[in-house]
A and B are shown apart, each in its own frame.
Chain A
Amino acid sequence: MRALTWHGKHDVRMETVPDPEILNPRDAIIKITSTAICGSDLHLYDAYIPTLEKGDILGHEFMGEVVDVGPKSTLKKGQRVVVPFTISCGSCFHCSKQQFSACENGNPAENQDLGQTLYGEPMSGLFGYTHLTGGYPGGQAEYVRVPFSDVGPIVIPDGMPDDDVLFLSDILPTGWMAAENAQIEPGDTVAIWGCGPVGLFAVQSAFKMGAHRVIAIDHFPHRLALAKRFGAETINYEETDTYEALMEMTGSIGPDAVIDAVGLEAHGFFADNVVDQIKASTFLGTDRPHALRQAIVACRKGGRVSIPGVYGGFVDKFPAGAMMEKGLQIRTGQTHVQKYLPQLLEMIGNGELDTTFLISHRLPLEQAVEGYKMFKNEQDTCTKVVLKPGLELA
């Protein structure tokens, strides 16, 4: 089959690779119909995150048609499914608490040692990411193997187009959980750093959960305009002092809840000798937690801090004093995708959530390499690239 593979910094290639096979009883094989490039794929593209190997297939936002099933899969051939980026077994302690992204059984045992050392607990399995998260081949390909296919994938009713539901795989539930973690109460003002796909979905979600006002912060004019379209007020941090503006816009109290949808994943890891460096605990201190620092300092006393933005290592000058003295509550984590799928699918079906506005480019899978370049270099207007195997450009 054809697949987008990683070979090094700014070096991804379309290659012919072996088709995936059923390896375990609960597996299914999906024929990809739509797959997207995620902001976090760019950090692999920029080679900031270690434990990728040459030839790894990228992609963790995908959907398609079931073409093969293992004996314990509950899917049927021909069904259309969206697949969560988190690989979750459904029966471990964390899955039983619906903390699907903390699943203990999705990551092959031989890939868990480094995560245990870095974080104290190994990471769970994710599609198309690194070998810290299992080394699973991703979905920017013609076919993908899906483990635990009886737990993860959600079946899509006939008649719902791919473009409406594709983002159930990651960024829509991630934006939704970001708003849920902000524990929004009626009358709240919610400030959101970052108007990428997750930030924009968090804007919509925050209003759905009863926010009175949402203030979106970014520097790309087109992205700020999208936030405005969903009812957010905006701050362009290149033109305006964000802290001063937030204080003025909230009567000097500060936002009731703040959401960091920026993260610093791009600078969270370095490829060499992570295990030894963790002991020094200064090496990874070069992350850029600017958005998080600002969010914590701006948040009102007794307010809530939600962090969907990805952090990987250590940060310097974390405002622990502001966090404690102001009595902030902090919630964070990779998205428990499976928990949110039925509800979000229903809301898309009812027209309560707009998902397609985000798609700026649709390309054939064969042009994935160009898609990465565009997504990296034209961030203002290239908000989301969707790849479709076999798509004929008009």
Chain B
Amino acid sequence: MSDVRDDAPSYVSKDSDVQKSEAQQGEGTVWGRTISIMRPRDELYAFWRDFRNLPAFMENIVAIEPVDTGRSRWTVKGPNGDYQWTSVITEDRPGEALAWASDDGDVKNSGRIEFRDGPPGHGTYVRAILAYDPPAGFIGKAIAKLTQKEPQISATRDLRRFKQLMETGEIATTTPPNREPHS
């Protein structure tokens, strides 16, 4: 292996040790994705910084309630019922990045979101990184995949909804609120 790493983010590495380098607490699975959003990064950061906004576009989050400065209580739908934990903000650079990590609860996890200017005319590059230990190990992961609540699937969709909400003011849907989703 070369001594010099390429410029791609670590989470797309083919080397699992490199992949896990961004796990804040040594979690076993790291996922990341970057999506461009045609809004200024200060606005995107400000929206994200108020965690109470997140359930609007995150399908599996039941609630995020502030506990005190820097701490919030997360309730998330999982394959075998709701999971809960308390998250602590581990990094806060206004307009640039925000990171958090669980400090107790059902699932050890952490996350980070970065806001960088894209090339001219290309909006803001928003990069989300999640690290977690799958609930109940391999079986839990398989069940989660079947029910489409696997963190990587739902996080990708969450990022797309965040983009929709920021760029259009609404989230695309075909489902009346009183009916079951179509697909």
Q: What is the interface of chain A, defined by CB distance below 8 A to chain B?
A: 18, 21, 23-26, 51, 53, 72, 89-93, 96, 104-113, 125, 131, 134-137, 147-148
Within 8 Å by CB of B153, from A23, A113, A135, lies A113
Is B123 a contact partner of A131 (Cβ separation < 8 A)? no
Could you give, for residues 109-148 of chain B, a 1 whenever the CB lies within 8 Å of some chain A CB and a 0 otherwise? 0000000000001110000000000000000000000001
Is A108 a contact partner of B38 (Cβ separation < 8 A)? no
Q: How far is the CA of A364 from the CA of B174 in the complex (A)?
A: 27
Q: With A23-B176, A109-B160 in contact, do A131 and B182 touch (Cβ < 8 Å)? A: yes
Within 8 Å by CB of B172, from A53, A96, A113, A125, lies A125
Is B173 a contact partner of A24 (Cβ separation < 8 A)? yes
Q: What is the interface of chain B, defined by CB distance below 8 A to chain A?
A: 36, 38, 59, 121-123, 148, 153, 156-158, 160-161, 163-164, 167-177, 181-183
Q: With A111-B183, A131-B183 in contact, do A93 and B160 touch (Cβ < 8 Å)? A: no
Q: With A93-B36, A135-B174 in contact, do A110 and B169 touch (Cβ < 8 Å)? A: no
Chain A residues, CB < 8 A from B169: 25-26, 72
Is B170 a contact partner of A92 (Cβ separation < 8 A)? no
Smallest CB separation, A57 vs chain B (Å)? 11
Query: Given A24-B171, A93-B36, A109-B171, 13 other A-B contacts at CB below 8 A?
Result: A23-B175, A89-B168, A91-B38, A106-B172, A108-B172, A109-B161, A109-B172, A110-B148, A110-B181, A113-B156, A125-B172, A136-B174, A137-B174
What are the 8 A-B residue pairs with the smallest beta carbon separation, nearest first? A109-B157, A109-B160, A24-B170, A89-B168, A108-B172, A105-B164, A131-B183, A109-B161
Chain B residues, CB < 8 A from A109: 156-158, 160-161, 164, 171-172
Q: How far is the CA of A136 from the CA of B158 in the complex (A)?
A: 20
Chain A residues, CB < 8 A from B148: 110
Is A93 a contact partner of B38 (Cβ separation < 8 A)? yes
